[in-house]
Amino acid sequence: MQRYNLCFLGFGNVGRALARLFGTKAAELAQLYGIDCRITGVATRRLGWLWNAEGFKLETLIAGNMDQANIQQARDLGEWLEKAQPAAVLETTSLNVETGQPAINYLRASLQAGAHAITANKGAVVYGYEELTDLARRVGKRFLFESTVLDSAPVFSLFRECLPAVRLRGFDGVFNSTTNVILEAMETGRTFAEGVKAAQELGVTETDPSHDVEGWDSTVKVCALATVLMKTSVRPSDVRREGIRALDAQTLRQARAEGRPFKLVSRAKVAADGSVSASVRPEQLSATDPLSCVRGTSLAVHFELDMMPGLTIMSHRPNLQSTAYGLLADFINAIRGS
Amino acid sequence: MQRYNLCFLGFGNVGRALARLFGTKAAELAQLYGIDCRITGVATRRLGWLWNAEGFKLETLIAGNMDQANIQQARDLGEWLEKAQPAAVLETTSLNVETGQPAINYLRASLQAGAHAITANKGAVVYGYEELTDLARRVGKRFLFESTVLDSAPVFSLFRECLPAVRLRGFDGVFNSTTNVILEAMETGRTFAEGVKAAQELGVTETDPSHDVEGWDSTVKVCALATVLMKTSVRPSDVRREGIRALDAQTLRQARAEGRPFKLVSRAKVAADGSVSASVRPEQLSATDPLSCVRGTSLAVHFELDMMPGLTIMSHRPNLQSTAYGLLADFINAIRGS
C-alpha cells in the first residue's frame, strides 16, 4: 500500500463529488491498485488555501464543515503546495475562455512542486496544453484532463492508450447538453425560454445560459480536442461559431418529424496540408448520422480515422459523479504509470 | 530502434490485411515507438509451418507468393516457434465455437516460447481467457484480443486502460453485421434471401449464413465480453439464444416506420448476487435507444457502469483493415508495456 496526498484546487460541485468518490472507492483503490489517499489541501476563493498534513476528515469536508481540528491557512499557492505535499493536484476552478488562467498558473506550479496535475478545466487545455505537457514530461509527472470534453467518457485516454499509430482525420460531435435540451424542447412545441428552464432544472446550465446558447462551451471543447488529438493549436478565434438563437421552432419540429433533426454540431477536420479547420454551428443531421441519436443531456463524438471508417463514443446523461470519475480515472492512471 | 520478429498463425483475409498494415505503418511504428518488424513465420493449414529467419519479403508474401528464397518448412508448431523466434504471434485461425481449439493450444505454446499472444479468435477468449491470462502474467508477456468483438473499436483496452476502478453492471449491443443487414433489407421490402445476398456481397458473411442468422457469432461475442469484463466464465450454453428466422417482414417494416426497429440484441447483466445472465435474441428497441442508431454493417455496445449512467461505443462499417488494426494495436501495446 502506498499513501498519496491529494490537493483540491476548487471545491464546488465537481470537487465535492470527487471527494465523495475517493471515499466510496477507497476499498477498490486499495485492493486493485494499493492506493491509500488523504486530502491534505483544499483551496477555494472563499476559504483560501487550507491545509492539514494529517488529512481532512472526509465526511465533514464534503458536508462543507471546515471547522475541523488542525486546519491551517497557507498564505498563497506556493506555501499551500509546500505544506500539503500533494502527489496530485485536482483542479476544478472556473473556466476562463480567453486565457485559461489562473488554472494554467496553478497547474504549472503543481507540476513544479512535484505533483501530477489533473484538471477539469478546458481553458487550461486550450491555452496551456503544450507548455504543461512539456513541463510534466520534464519533471516526470502527468498532466491529464479527461473530464474536460465528454464529462468522463474516455476520449483523450482512448487515443493515448487504445489507438496507437492511428491518424485522426476529423471529428464531429454534440458537446453541449444545454443546447441539446433546448432544441429538443422546441421540437416538441415548447418555447426557447421553456427549453432554457428545462436545462437549468436538469442542472446542466448556468443562470445565464449565453455561454452555452452562443456556442462558447462547444467552441472551447472543440479547441481542446483538436489541440490535443490533432496536435495543432486551435483557439476559439479560429473556430467558425454560430449559436442556436436563430433557429425557429417550426423548422426544428419539421426536421425532427422527418427524422433529420438539427443539433449544435462541433466539427474539426484536418486538411491535405495538415491545417485544421473547426466550426460550431447548428446543422441538420441525416437520419443515419450517429449524432442524430444523441438525446437530452447526452454527449457524443464521432471520429474519422485512417484505421477505422468511423468510431463513435456516446456519454449518456452525464452527471457530477461521472465528471468527477474522469478526474479519479486520471489520478489512478497517473499513479499506475499509464 | 528495436527489432521484433512476428509470426502469423493463419494467413487469410485478416492475416494478409495485417501484414499489409505492418508495411504501411512501418514508418510510424519506427518514429513513434522505435519498432522495426519483420515477419519470420507464416503458418496455414495448406502451406504448413513456414519460416525465414531473415524475414519474408512483405510484398510477395501479401501477394501470396511463397516462392521466395530462404523459406523453410518446420515440422510442427514447436519447431516453427523455435526457428522463427517471434516477439509476438498473431493468431487468426478459424473460430471453433465449442472448444476454442486449436487456437488455445497455439496461443499457450506461443506464450511458453516467450512470445506475446495476440488473437482475433473469439473462441480462444471464451474457453481460454483465464488460463492464457495467468500464463501470460507468469511468463511476463501479454495475451490480447481486441479484434474479437467490435472489430477494433476499443472495448477490452478501453476497460483495461481508460476505466480503472469501474464496475460493469451490464451491457447490450449489436455484434453481428450479417443479421443487421438482413433485418434492414427486410424492413425495406426485400426478402430474407435477398438480405443474405446483400450481406454476402458486403463481405461480412460466410457462404452458409447460419452461424450469424442463428445468433452463434453474437453468442460467442457476448461470452467473450462477459467473461473478460464481468470476470465470470460465461459459455455459449449459458446464453439464452434465439436467431432472426422467426421475424416476418411486415412486423419489421411496421416497427421501423414507428422508429422502433428490431435488432438482434446481445445482452448481459450482473445480478445482485454477482451471477451473470446473458441473451442473444431479437428485440424491439425504443426510439431513444442508442442501439437503434446502428445501421448496415456497423456494430455497437452500450455499457451500464457504476461511474457513468451509460457509455456507448460504435464501430462503423468495420472492414478487414480495421479488424487487422485491432491486432496491430494489441501488438504495439504489448511492446510498449501498456
- Flag whether residue B237 sits within 8 Å of chain A, measured between CB atoms: no
CA end-to-end span of chain B, whole Å? 18
List the grid coordinates of A105: 498558473
In angstroms, how far is CA A282 from the centroid of its own chain?
22
Residue type, B333: N
Sign of CA dihedral B301, B302, B305, B307: positive
Equal CATH topology for A2-152+321-337 and A164-317: no
If you average pLDDT over residues B274-291, what whole number do you get? 96
CATH class of A2-152+321-337: alpha beta
Computed on alpha carbons and rounded to an integer, the radius of gyration of chain A in Å comes to: 21
Per-residue confidence (pLDDT) for residue B337, from 0 to 100: 86
Q: Please state, in angstroms and as integers, the Cα–Cα distance from residue B223 to each residue in B64, B92, B237, following that order.
A: 34, 19, 10
Per-residue confidence (pLDDT) for residue A72, from 0 to 100: 94
Specify the pTM: 0.96
**H or E element, residue B213:** helix B210-213
A 10 A CB-CB count for B217 gives 25
CA end-to-end span of chain A, whole Å? 18
Domain edges within chain A: 2-152+321-337, 164-317
Per-residue confidence (pLDDT) for residue A174, from 0 to 100: 98
- Flag whether residue B325 sits within 8 Å of chain A, measured between CB atoms: yes
Residue B133 has pLDDT above 90, yes or no: yes
Span of B94-98, B195-199, B333-337 with lowest mean pLDDT:
B94-98
Mark yes or no for CB contact A29/B161 under 8 Å: no
Cα(B301)–Cα(B303) distance, integer angstroms: 7
The CA distance from A222 to the nearest CA of chain B, in Å, is 20
If you average pLDDT over residues B55-68, what whole number do you get? 85
Residue type, A221: K
Residue B207 has pLDDT above 80, yes or no: no
Cα(A102)–Cα(A95) distance, integer angstroms: 9
Per-residue confidence (pLDDT) for residue B108, from 0 to 100: 98
If you average pLDDT over residues B265-287, what whole number do you get? 97
Mean pLDDT by 10 residues, chain A (338 residues): 97 95 97 97 94 92 82 96 98 91 97 98 97 98 96 94 97 97 96 94 84 96 98 97 96 94 98 96 94 95 97 96 97 91
Burial label for A123, CB within 10 Å (0-12, 13-18, 19+), is buried
Residue B67 has pLDDT above 80, yes or no: no
The CA distance from A292 to the nearest CA of chain B, in Å, is 8
Per-residue confidence (pLDDT) for residue A338, from 0 to 100: 58
Q: Which residue of A has its CA nearest to B338?
A: A338
Cis ω for the linkage preceding B102 (within 30 of 0): yes
Q: Considering only residues 94 to 153 of chain A, which have any Cβ-Cβ distance to chain B shorter than 8 Å?
A: 152-153
List the grid coordinates of B5: 520478429
List the grid coordinates of A32: 486493485
Per-residue confidence (pLDDT) for residue A54, from 0 to 100: 94
Nearest to A259 by CA among B265, B258, B314: B258
List the grid coordinates of A137: 514530461
If you average pLDDT over residues B211-239, what whole number do you get? 97
Residue B151 has pLDDT above 90, yes or no: no
B60 falls in which pLDDT band (50, 70, 90)? Answer: confident
Per-residue confidence (pLDDT) for residue A59, from 0 to 100: 86
Please check whether residue B311 is in contact with residue A314, taking contact to mean a CB–CB distance below 8 angstroms: yes
**A164-317 is classed CATH 2.40.128.110:** no
List the grid coordinates of A59: 465526511
Per-residue confidence (pLDDT) for residue B304, from 0 to 100: 97
Per-residue confidence (pLDDT) for residue B338, from 0 to 100: 59
Q: Considering only residues 238 to 267 of chain A, which have any Cβ-Cβ distance to chain B shorter than 8 Å?
A: 259
Q: Which residue of A has its CA nearest to B300?
A: A312
